[in-house]
Amino acid sequence: MNWPAIRAIYGFEMSRFWRTAMQSILAPVISTSLYFVVFGAAIGSRVSAVDGVPYGLFIVPGLIMLSLLTQSIANASFGIYFPRFSGTIYEILSAPISPVEVVLGYVGAAASKSIVIGLIILATAALFVPLRIEHPVWMLGFLLLTAVTFSLFGFVIGLWADGFEKLQLVPLLIVTPLTFLGGSFYAIEMLPPFWRAVSLLNPVVYLISGFRWAFFGTADVGIGVSLAMTGLFLAVCLGLVTYIFRTGYRLKS
């Protein structure tokens, strides 16, 4: 294992994070606060408790997931796309590092960033509602698993994209809708039966459901199913990354 290289890539990516701390930390804090003001205080006060959880508190796991997904994808995709775009990728390709090490560096950094942001949002949420976390270890576990999985997914997007447009396309057209429709702001059982069935095709449902279970002990689907689905998605992303490195797709001609 070339640990200095992993450290170098990880450190490089993290320094970008701290350099742009204003936008990388402040932006999610502000948008979360706005969600709380609008959904938590203004609308939430008129919404009845869901499964005995006050609405303001109910949306906390979904909000964290929302940021976790978008941040993981954005960080990881940008992290690997930019060197490809600017040409500095030559150094990564010519260095004595294996694909696994490259992924550990980039995906590790992207996941770390989004976990930091997730925890900041959690802290911000604590300012608005009294928090309740029934399974803190599971909560952290889901946080980690989701951050890693979607950072891998973002990494794949960053390798696939051949322009800034494509870099935005997947998050904008697929991930954001899936997250919003994945039960960030409602429980799946609040939907009519047809849409409830459709929702079960949405992988994000399982993430949010599992995460919510870690908070409140109740969920749309069983915790086992949530874990299995997240694991499945992780496996798919790992497979894609392996394929890309094995074939050199979009990396080497």
Partner 1 sequence: MPPILAIANLSKTYASGLSALRAVNLEIAKGEIFALLGPNGAGKSTLINIVCGIVTPSTGTVTVDGHDILNHYRGARKTIGLVPQELTTDAFETVWNTVSFSRGLFGLSKNPAHIERVLRDLSLWEKRDNRLMTLSGGMKRRVLIAKALSHEPRVLFLDEPTAGVDVELRQDMWRMVRRLREQGVTVILTTHYIEEAEEMADRIGVIRKGEIILVEEKAELMRKLGRKQLTIQLNEPISEVPPALGQYGLDLAAGGSELVYTYDTKAERTGITRLLTDLAGAGLTFSDLRTSQSSLEDIFVDLVRERA
Taking the C-alpha atoms of 118, 124, 130 and 135 in order, what is their torsion angle to the nearest 10 degrees? 10
* Position 87 contacts partner 1 (CB under 8 A): yes
Distance between CA atoms of residues 2 and 96, nearest Å: 8
Question: Which of 18, 90, 164, 243 is the binder for partner 1 (CB under 8 A)?
Answer: 90
Binding segment for partner 1 (CB under 8 A), chosen from 38-46, 88-96, 108-116, 156-164, is: 88-96
- The letter for the amino acid at 73 is I
Q: For partner 1, which residue of 22, 23, 96, 193 counts as binding (CB under 8 A)? A: 96
- Residue with token string 């005995």: 52
99 scored as a contact of partner 1 (CB under 8 A): no
84 binds partner 1, rule: CB under 8 A? no
Q: Per rule CB under 8 A, is residue 252 in the interface with partner 1?
A: yes
Which residue's entry shows tokens 């109910």? 58
Rounded CA separation 234/107 (Å): 12
In our burial notation (b when 16+ CB lie closer than 10 A, e otherwise), range 72-100 reads bbbbbbbbbbebbbeeebeebeeeebeee
Sole binder of partner 1 in the list 93, 126, 169, 174 (CB under 8 A): 93
Q: How far apart are CA 136 and CA 138, in angstroms?
A: 5
240 is written with which tokens?
A: 């894609």
Which position among 30, 34, 88, 132 is part of the footprint of partner 1 (CB under 8 A)? 88
Q: Of the two residues 2 and 31, which places its CB atom closer to partner 1 in the complex?
A: 2
Report d(CA 85, CA 74) in Å as an integer.
15
Choose one: 1-9, 32-40, 43-51, 116-124; the region binding partner 1 (CB under 8 A): 1-9
Of 16-45, binders to partner 1 (CB under 8 A) are 16, 19
Q: Which residues bind partner 1 (CB under 8 A)?
A: 2, 4-5, 7-9, 11-12, 15-16, 19, 86-88, 90-98, 248, 252-253
